[in-house]
Every structure is written in structure tokens, then in C-alpha cells.
Amino acid sequence: MPDQHRLEWDPNLEVPPNYGGEHYTVVHQLLIQATGCLDQQAAQQLLDGWTQENDAKKEQQQGQAQQAPNKREEREDNHSPPPSP
């Protein structure tokens, strides 16, 4: 069974949404009402949140990449077959 929290894609290839676009107007309005910020500040806050999440995914992926050789070595040491997909 695959790890549910394991990343199966490269977060370095992800592109942030256009938080300044019309699709986020409602979210902007809610942020403006809740915090009193300006429209551009609301877009920046959304982008900052996305960036923080993406950075965490990048760190997770690096950890996975470092663990992969260790798991392969453990299987080879134990002469156990690789897990089935």
C-alpha cells in the first residue's frame, strides 16, 4: 500500500495560481473584509500561503529522495523483493 502522504510529483514544477485574477475576486473580498487589506495585499497573502505550502512540499520531496536509497539498500541487505505496486 503506497504511503498516502508520499509526493508522487515534483513540487518544483508547480506554478502558483494567478491570485490577482478574476477567479479569486470572492476570496479577495472576504480577505479585505476580514483584515482591511487592499486587493493587491490580499493576492499577495494568498501567494505567500501557496509558497509556504509549496516550500514544505519541496522539503518533503527532498526527504523522500534521501530515504529512497536507504530503503533500497535495506531490501538488498535483507534479500527481500521490492514492494509490488
pLDDT tens for the 85 residues of the chain, in order: 445 588 888 999 999 999 999 999 999 999 999 999 999 999 999 999 999 999 999 999 999 888 877 665 655 556 666 666 5
Short-list 23, 55, 21, CA closest to 40: 21
SS (H, E, C) the chain: CCCCCCCCCCHHHCCCCCCCCHHHHHHHHHHHHHHCCCHHHHHHHHHHHHHHHHHHHHHHHHHHHHHHHHHHHHHHHHCCCCCCC
